[in-house]
Amino acid sequence: MATRKIIEQGDGSLTKVCRPVTSFDQRLHELIDDMRETLEQANGYGLAAPQVGILRRVCLAMGPDGKVIELVNPEILETSGQQEGYEGCLSVPGMYGWVKRPSWAKVRAQDRDGKVFEVEGVGMTARCFCHEIDHLDGHLFTELVIGGLYTEAELDAAQAESQRKKGKGRKGKS
């Protein structure tokens, strides 16, 4: 296994639609293993093949139990509900934006050996499925941001201010 370089926003690879995987061979296994190591080193929640310069429909998403789910040729079958929250991306380092995503998603994919399976996710897992599959279609989360992008320091300051205001409101009430 090897850690691969994560491509950042501005690289044309991130705006291209990825081709389906047709060979479930050792090269694919090595790609998935390298992506897993890269994801772990980056402390991320998900990673798509175009983020490491490979235009194939492969991505990894963090499951609710903290285990990585490998998705080859994934497609979203169904979604429901809505969640909103700040989202970031390993290809847009240090920047976060408010994004709406489904709160539940059902995905059909293949495993590294080509076997078809379905998986469902709620909350962060659903968000991760949608985010990573968007990468496979050439889209970044920045296209969905409501408002603007914030650095981590700006986000921390805004959240601290929000907590301060909530605290003030409570003090005057009994």
Spatial neighbors of 173 by CB under 8 A, at least 6 apart, are none
Calpha distance 101→85 (Å, rounded): 8
Active site residue 132: yes
Calpha distance 51→91 (Å, rounded): 7
Residue 19's alpha-carbon distances to 16, 28, 86, 137, 138, in angstroms, are 9, 13, 29, 9, 11
From the candidates 132, 143, 152, 154, which is the catalytic residue? 132
**What is the SS3 assignment for 17?**
coil
What's the per-residue H, E or C state across 23-48? Answer: CCCHHHHHHHHHHHHHHHHHCCCEEE
Question: How many Cβ atoms are within 10 Å of 156's Cβ, its own excluded?
Answer: 11
The full DSSP string for 75-109 is EEEEEES-EEEEEEETTEEEEEEEEEE-SEEEEEE
* Residues labelled catalytic: 132
